[in-house]
Amino acid sequence: METATPVQPAPADATVPFRRDPLGCLIVALDFPSADAAMHLVDQLQGTCRWFKVGMELYYAAGDAVIQRLLDRGFEVFLDLKLHDIPNTVAGAVRSVAGTGASLLTIHAAGGEQMMRAAAQAATAPNAPELLAITVLTSMDAAELNAVGVADTPAAQVLRLARLARAAGVNGLVCSPEEVAAVREAMGAGARLVVPGIRPAGPGKPDDQRRIATPGEAIARGASMLVVGRPITLAADPANAAAAILNEIDAAN
């Protein structure tokens, strides 16, 4: 099988809508139950990734130590904790996370403007991560939103929460590929839009993601960064899978 060639990085501004450095666009999700399993995948990627996502499963199992192991090897960390609580509690959590060295941290926009405003204020502390507000999870469709009392479509709810986040001082968002073009238009070039629900071109399973797109489609619509998990972590050759996605990103720039 032909091996995809990793794209060489070039300097890029993280705030522009299309980051020209493919390595700066790709975040590999380390959704593993232990630090050793996560680091085994990191070893397999052979330099095809700069960013890793540490989510709840791995963070609750391994804590700050796994973040430090990644930082020690020169990687950047997206800490995906999806904070959602009263304003004071979330602000305290943001201040605590500032000591981990993570570059990005998620909060739930559904927590409301006051919660996000408190989080944004806490994120002004030295070494605090940049905040990303989760809009509507990619696993949810209109029927699931309706079941929790949201009558609008996912697209309308995403835009509502995006505008609420901006009003609260949070200029980074997580949204699905289906909404990213509308969010980019509403938020402008300065917003960092992080997009999960990415499935490479060609046959494959959506798994539990419902609002999905290929890497090239998401970048063309205005994504800043893409979060990719199982298409890389479950691949027979993770490095080749990651390199192929980098090439899809580069072709869409």
Specify the pLDDT at position 212: 65
Domain annotation covers residue 49:
yes
| Domain assignment present for 70 | yes
Is the pLDDT at 57 greater than 70, yes or no?
A: yes
Residue 14 is assigned to a structural domain of this protein: no
Residue 240 belongs to a domain: yes
Inside any domain, residue 1: no
Residue 4 lies in a domain: no
> Mean pLDDT score of the chain, rounded to an integer?
88
Is the Cβ–Cβ distance between 226 and 26 less than 8 Å?
A: yes
- According to the model, what pLDDT value does residue 47 have? 86
Q: Among 185, 247, 198, 243, which Cα is nearest to 225's? A: 198
- pLDDT tens-digit profile of 78-103? 999 999 999 999 999 999 999 999 99
Of 1 and 59, more confident: 59
CB atoms within 10 A of CB 141: 13
Residue pair 60/253 in contact by the 8 Å Cβ criterion: no
* pLDDT band, very low/low/confident/very high, at 61 (cuts 50, 70, 90): very high
Given a cut of 60, is residue 10 above it in pLDDT?
no
Q: How many helices (H) and strands (E) does the chain have?
A: 12, 8
**What is the CATH number for 32?**
3.20.20.70
Mean pLDDT of 237-252: 94
Q: Is residue 15 part of a domain?
A: no
Domain assignment present for 28:
yes
Q: How many domains does the chain have?
A: 1
Write out the residue range of the structural domain in which residue 117 sits: 22-252
Q: What positions carry a catalytic annotation?
A: 82
User: 134 - beta bridge partners?
Assistant: 108, 174
Phi, psi (rounded to 5 degrees) for 229 = -115, -95
Q: Which DSSP letter does residue 110 get?
A: G
Taking only the tens place, the pLDDT of each residue in 180-202 is 999 999 999 999 999 998 988 65
H-type alpha helices, the chain: 22-25, 35-44, 56-62, 64-72, 87-97, 113-122, 142-147, 154-167, 180-187, 215-221, 230-233, 238-252
